A = this chain, B = another copy of it.
Amino acid sequence: MNIQCPMPQLDFDLITLGHGSGGLLTNKLLQAGVFDLLRNDLLDEHHDGAVFSLNGRVAFSTDSYVVSPVFFPGGNIGELAVNGTVNDLAMCGGMPQHLSLAFILEEGLTMREFWDILVAVKSAAERAGVQIVTGDTKVVERGKGDKIFINTSGVAPLHPRANISRKRIKAGDKIIVSGEIATHGIAIMSVREGLEFETAIHSDTTNLNHTVARLLDRFGEQIHLLTDPTRGGVASVLNEVARDTSLGMEIWQKNVPVDDEVAGACELLGLDPLYVANEGVFMAFVESEVAGEFLELLRADDKGRNATMLGEVVAAHPRQVILHSAIGGKRVVNMLVGEQLPRIC
């Protein structure tokens, strides 16, 4: 579902400082494309914020996106910014409908690039079923930014059966991962390093909210935690949860799903896929009794077809993550130290 949106005729090709002034040029930029492209009643109000109705419990999340390069195989910063926050809300048990969108543009960004990013925002928002209802545009001088940074924030009513908190995790819970890991990180890294593979590795950035909603419909409070292993990867999530719950985590190497080509690239780059950033993948900590059924339902969904039972939560070795290797050995998986892949999202 790629949208064809021809760029409007404009009398400028480059973003200048004036486009951040709040005056005529800002208006021209917004009127020329942004408002039309993202049109909805709330945005049409042109006010300092959006006003709408929302009942009961809500999830609220924010993320700034600084991915470099801005365009990469499988997407660009625009869809990443929409999917990322949609997914963060879904991980809270939220059903996202409204997002905010704030740009920090570097002077000299071409309107062509900005337009392509906007179209990606629109397209990702439509797929996720969310509206951009309020926004902001700032421009900084050349050399004080890097083409474009995007912040998206979102507020979402909670799924009525969601009760997601790491405090609910207990020994015995199963840990499920929804798909092949490390794909996004390697897609970005291979562009940056100029690596060539037989087929280009594409980012798997996508919205997970509909998939998660179906799981919540069926399993509700039997799902203890949902979380997406973005920066720091699966290993960081496991370590954080182990730390916060004072429980141990055990995972099985053979159940770590990695695409062959991605695995090959990881070897070439000396990276452990467990630490590589993900998009389009989530982890679930669920009641042991329903784990099998959960996995089955997840695998029936296109976005979960490669899901696996990664491991389980244990009372032994509190705060430690243990990996059982394919050949029967064991090793501790530590928290990532320092930076492996800067600016991956």
Q: Is the interface of A mostly helix, strand, loop or mixed?
A: mixed
A199 at the interface (CB under 8 A from B): no
The answer on a CB contact under 8 Å between B337 and A24 is yes
**B141 and A342 form a contact (CB under 8 A):** yes
CA distance A342 to B127 in the complex (A): 36
A213 nearest CB across to chain B (Å): 16
Given known A-B contacts A92-B51, A136-B64, A339 and B143 have beta carbons under 8 A apart: no
A61: chain B residues within 8 A (beta carbon): 48-50, 100, 134
A170 within 8 A of B: no
Cβ–Cβ < 8 Å partners of A68 in chain B: 144
Chain A 168-198 interface 0/1 with B at a Cβ cutoff of 8 Å (1 = within): 0000000000000000000000000000000
Report the bound CA distance from A96 to B197 in whole Å.
51
CA distance A228 to B22 in the complex (A): 12
Q: How distant is A223 from chain B, measured CB to nearest CB, in Å? A: 13
- Complex formed: what's the CA distance from A228 to B27 in Å? 17
The reply to whether the CB of A242 lies closer than 8 angstroms to some CB of chain B is no
- B46, A240: Cβ atoms closer than 8 Å: yes
Instruction: Please state if B48 and A58 are interface contacts (CB–CB under 8 Å).
Output: no
Type the 1/0 row for A36-59, where 1 means its CB is closer than 8 Å to any CB of B.
000000000111111111111111
The reply on A247 being an interface residue by CB < 8 A is: no
B145 in contact with A64 (CB, 8 Å): no
A166 in contact with B46 given A143-B143, A340-B21 (CB within 8 Å): yes
Select A23's contact among B49, B63, B138, B340, beta carbons within 8 Å. B340
A92 CA / B103 CA spacing, docked (Å): 21
Question: Does A20 count as interface, using CB distance less than 8 angstroms?
Answer: yes
Partner of A58, one of B54, B88, B101, B144: B54
Is A203 among interface residues, defined by CB-CB distance under 8 A? no
Chain B residues closer than 8 Å to A149, beta-carbon distance: 64, 104, 140, 149
Return 17 A-B CB contacts under 8 Å, by A number: A16-B338, A17-B342, A18-B338, A21-B336, A23-B231, A24-B336, A48-B87, A48-B91, A49-B91, A51-B58, A54-B55, A55-B55, A60-B133, A62-B135, A64-B151, A66-B138, A151-B153
> Using a CB–CB distance below 8 Å, which chain A residues touch chain B?
16-18, 20-27, 45-66, 68, 87-89, 91-94, 98, 100-104, 133-136, 138-141, 143-146, 149, 151, 153-155, 158, 164-166, 227-228, 230-233, 236, 240, 244, 275, 277, 335-340, 342-343
